[in-house]
Amino acid sequence: MEILQLSSQKLILASLFCIFLGGCGVFSPYIDRRRNPGVDDIRRLYTGPSRPDKPVICYNGWVTDDKELQQMANDECIKQGTGVRAEFVKKTYFDGKLLLPSHVHYKCVKE
């Protein structure tokens, strides 16, 4: 029993060390956009769920609030030139990475 406890403690300490090693960046939300390298056709360029006119943000709800997500989406719409603000579409849960398990979907609007 004592060996099992020691192994569990080591595993927990190693996990915590990895999380702390990553710092706050581990929980930072990001625009979930992946690209196909070397592709010239704009329709095949993006492979992730995010598009220039429909930003999708991967985030952790315990760390990031809705206001920050909205601002990120607004900034992305302006940066891509597809709108002046982002409009909320939907949220999905447990379909992302381990520490950033959720997605929020927006669409850019020009008004």
* pLDDT digit string, tens, across residues 30-81: 887 776 777 777 667 777 777 788 899 888 888 888 899 999 999 999 988 8
Are 54 and 105 within 8 A, CB to CB?
Answer: yes
Q: What's the confidence (pLDDT) of residue 73?
A: 93
Residue 3 lies in a domain: no
Distance, CA of 99 to CA of 53 (rounded, Å): 26
What are the two backbone dihedrals, phi and then psi, of residue 60, each rounded to the nearest 5 degrees? -115, 120
Residue 90 lies in a domain: yes
| Banded model confidence at residue 1, pLDDT cuts 50, 70, 90 | very low
Q: What is the mean pLDDT of the chain?
A: 78
Residue 7 lies in a domain: no
* Domain span holding position 47: 24-109
Residue type for position 66: D
- Two structure tokens written together for 7: 């192994």
Residue 51 lies in a domain: yes
Average pLDDT over residues 80-103: 84
Residue 59 lies in a domain: yes
* Structural domain total, the chain: 1
Distance, CA of 38 to CA of 14 (rounded, Å): 39
